[in-house]
Amino acid sequence: AGYFEASLGYLSLESKNLEMITKIKIYSSNITIEHSGYGLSEE
């Protein structure tokens, strides 16, 4: 039972990490898009 609970806790931690990684990836890609947009408007 202890192992099962520990694995469930690990899974929830993993999903939170994946969620954060996904948010960071989306955020950084949005910054890249904005920067390329500014670059185009400057030229």
Type of residue numbered 42: E
Residue-number span of the structural domain to which 33 is assigned: 1-43
Residue listed under structure tokens 């500014």: 38
Q: What integer pLDDT is reported at residue 24 of this predicted model?
A: 87
Indicate the DSSP class of residue 18.
H
Task: Check residue 43 and give its pLDDT.
Answer: 47
> How many angstroms separate the CA atoms of 31 and 14, rounded?
26
In order, the DSSP letters of 9-34 are: HHHHHHHHHHHHHHHHHHHHHHHHHH
- Number of domains making up the chain: 1
10-residue mean pLDDT series, the chain (43 residues): 77 87 86 61 50
